[in-house]
């Protein structure tokens, strides 16, 4: 028998209204008691008595047993979620920055106060990737997860490669459709997919990684020169977050533009759609696909979490509690395309084993190997307007790295 949920909803923007649209008219054994909003003067589609600007009307209401948090402010969201869990209320959230930044503390609060926090809607919209990583891949050896986690940047790249739009025009379209914010840097700069990657990595590997430790380089510096190069090679450029196991006990994470070949699942993921590839030892390569932006797709994921709470579902974080000895590392070399103007860029990044080089008066590019450690140390350089970097998809290993992997395999096999 399912428990009736009495809901306090924080936020009535795109996702909040999308959730309400889905719920309306369905017999789901739940009821929205109160909705907290920021702007009391904004015209609403529901009765005024449902709305309040006072958070306490929801958090201190004993009738409300479930909090649904759908606001943009990560700090305010954490305060709401923390207070709700401490009071024993279950919570559903879609705030990826808040969850990624405070996951360890949120897990402790859930255990201490016997409450559940679910957040499928925080990662890849309508794709149920968190629950799959949590449950289906519980006993799998995961080699890696990667994909397109941000519908806004993917929409822009799709318009550039499929319709020959300029970057600025494609960005404006994404903003007009509500896929990108007025200040789009969270999306196009790779911050949004970084937070989502941190959450996915926690459920894939049991590693709670501070998002500040994950390199994110976006597509904001993409130029016609980079697009021309990709087209000449029959590639598309996608913004791809990656978590990859590079040895028995080491996992690397990063968000970088990537040259994607036509035989890659991600090649045909277009517009606001997201796609996640999971590479596993026994299940091999699997692919999840669905809409990643918009009120209804994300609202559907939020509703899925709400429905799961009716039957007492909670994440168990089994991989985290197993203390499996996995470590987060930046000790890996990857092959990259680097477009630049000043020669010191190549020298400072310590690009090695260059296999292709091009130079003309207004720009240059090389393809060669670079350490992830060096990219992290020179992040400011990579964000300069005359620099663009993309992963070719290849990894390389130094002799010392190969020896470390070999030693680990002897030790743990």
- Collapsing DSSP to helix, strand or coil, 175 comes out as helix
Q: What angle do CA 123, 389, 176 make, to 5 degrees?
A: 50
Residues classed as catalytic: 196
**What pLDDT digit, counting tens, does each position of 61-102 carry?**
999 999 999 999 999 999 999 999 999 999 999 999 999 999
Q: Which two tokens stand for residue 40?
A: 């009391």
191 and 237 share one domain: yes
11 and 82 share one domain: yes
pLDDT at 411 over 80: no
Model-level pTM? 0.93
Residues 6+ apart with CB under 8 A from 28: 303, 306, 307
pLDDT bucket at 2, cuts 50 / 70 / 90: low
137 and 234 share one domain: yes
> Average pLDDT in the 222-232 region?
97
CA 36 to CA 50: how far, in whole Å?
8
Whether 210 is covered by a domain: the verdict is yes
Whether 406 is covered by a domain: the verdict is no
Whether 412 is covered by a domain: the verdict is no
Lowest mean pLDDT among 128-142, 212-226, 259-273, 304-318: 128-142
pLDDT at 405 over 60: no
Q: Which two tokens stand for residue 304?
A: 């899925």
205 and 82 share one domain: no
Residues 6+ apart with CB under 8 A from 267: 236, 260, 261
Whether 408 is covered by a domain: the verdict is no
CB 31 within 8 A of CB 59: no
272 and 178 share one domain: yes
Domain of residue 74, CATH code = 3.40.50.720
Q: Could you give the percent of the chain with pLDDT greater than 90?
A: 77
> Average pLDDT in the 287-312 region?
88
224 and 348 share one domain: yes
- For the chain, helix (H) and strand (E) counts, in that order, are 16, 17
CA 9 to CA 71: how far, in whole Å?
10
380 and 279 share one domain: yes
Q: Which is more confidently placed, 398 or 408?
A: 398
pLDDT value at residue 402: 53
44 and 190 share one domain: no
CB 15 within 8 A of CB 40: no
307 and 360 share one domain: no
pLDDT at 40 over 90: no
Q: Please identify, among 256, 283, 316, the residue that sits at the C-terminal boundary of a domain.
A: 316
Residue 318 φ then ψ, to 5°:
-60, -40
Whether 287 is covered by a domain: the verdict is yes
Domain extent at residue 67: 5-125+297-316
Which residue in the block uniquely carries the two structure tokens 């579902």? 313
pLDDT value at residue 105: 98
pLDDT value at residue 139: 73
Burial class (CB in 10 A: 0-12, 13-18, 19+), 40: exposed
pLDDT bucket at 126, cuts 50 / 70 / 90: confident
Domain of residue 216, CATH code = 3.30.360.10
State the DSSP code for 135.
I
58 and 155 share one domain: no
pLDDT at 365 over 90: yes
pLDDT bucket at 409, cuts 50 / 70 / 90: very low
In angstroms, the Cα distances linking 17 to 11, 40, 310 are 9, 16, 21
Mean pLDDT of the chain: 92
How many domains are contained in the chain?
Answer: 2
- Collapsing DSSP to helix, strand or coil, 356 comes out as strand
161 and 217 share one domain: yes
Whether 255 is covered by a domain: the verdict is yes
pLDDT value at residue 292: 79
pLDDT value at residue 214: 98
- Residue 365 forms beta bridges with which residues? 339, 358
49 and 96 share one domain: yes
One DSSP character per residue, 158-172 reads: HHHHHH---HHHHHH
Whether 9 is covered by a domain: the verdict is yes
CA 218 to CA 226: how far, in whole Å?
13
pLDDT at 221 over 60: yes
In angstroms, the Cα distances linking 22 to 16, 25, 77, 350, 362 are 10, 8, 23, 52, 52
Whether 87 is covered by a domain: the verdict is yes
Q: Could you give the percent of the chain with pLDDT greater than 70?
A: 95
């Amino acid at each position: 028998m399912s428990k009736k949920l009495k809901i306090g909803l924080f936020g009535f923007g795109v996702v909040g209204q999308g959730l309400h649209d889905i719920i309306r008219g369905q017999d789901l054994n739940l009821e929205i008691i109160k909705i907290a909003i920021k702007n009391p003067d904004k015209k609403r589609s529901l009765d005024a008595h449902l709305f309040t600007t006072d958070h306490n009307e929801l958090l201190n209401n004993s009738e409300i047993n479930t909090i649904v948090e759908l606001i943009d402010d990560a700090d305010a969201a954490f305060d709401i979620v923390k207070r709700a869990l401490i009071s024993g209320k279950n919570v559903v959230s879609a705030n990826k920055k808040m969850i990624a930044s405070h996951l360890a503390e949120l897990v402790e609060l859930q255990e201490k106060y016997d409450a559940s926090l679910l957040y499928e809607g925080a990662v890849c919209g309508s794709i149920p990737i968190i629950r799959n990583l949590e449950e289906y891949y519980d006993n799998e050896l995961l080699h890696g997860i990667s994909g397109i986690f941000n519908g806004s940047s993917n929409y822009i790249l799709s318009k550039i490669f499929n319709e020959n739009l300029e970057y600025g025009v494609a960005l404006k379209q994404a903003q007009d459709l509500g896929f990108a914010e007025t200040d789009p840097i969270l999306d196009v700069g790779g911050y949004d997919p970084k937070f989502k990657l941190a959450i996915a990595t926690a459920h894939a590997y049991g590693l709670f990684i501070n998002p500040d430790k994950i390199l994110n380089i976006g597509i904001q510096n993409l130029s016609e020169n980079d697009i021309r190069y990709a087209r000449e090679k029959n590639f598309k450029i996608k913004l791809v977050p990656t978590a990859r196991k590079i040895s028995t006990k080491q996992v690397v994470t990063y968000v970088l533009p990537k040259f994607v070949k036509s035989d890659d699942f991600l090649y045909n993921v277009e517009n606001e759609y997201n796609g996640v590839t999971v590479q596993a030892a026994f299940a091999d390569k699997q692919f999840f696909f669905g809409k990643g932006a918009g009120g209804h797709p994300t609202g559907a994921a939020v509703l899925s979490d709400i429905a799961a709470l009716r039957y007492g579902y909670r994440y168990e974080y089994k991989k985290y509690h197993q203390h499996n000895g996995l470590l987060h590392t930046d000790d890996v070399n990857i092959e990259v395309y680097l477009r630049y103007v000043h020669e010191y860029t190549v020298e400072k990044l310590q690009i090695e084993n260059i296999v292709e080089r091009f130079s003309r008066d207004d720009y240059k590019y090389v393809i060669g190997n670079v350490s992830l450690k060096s990219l992290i140390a020179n992040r400011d350089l990579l964000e300069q307007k005359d620099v663009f970097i993309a992963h070719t998809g290849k990894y390389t290993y130094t002799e010392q790295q190969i020896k470390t992997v070999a030693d680990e395999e002897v030790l743990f096999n």
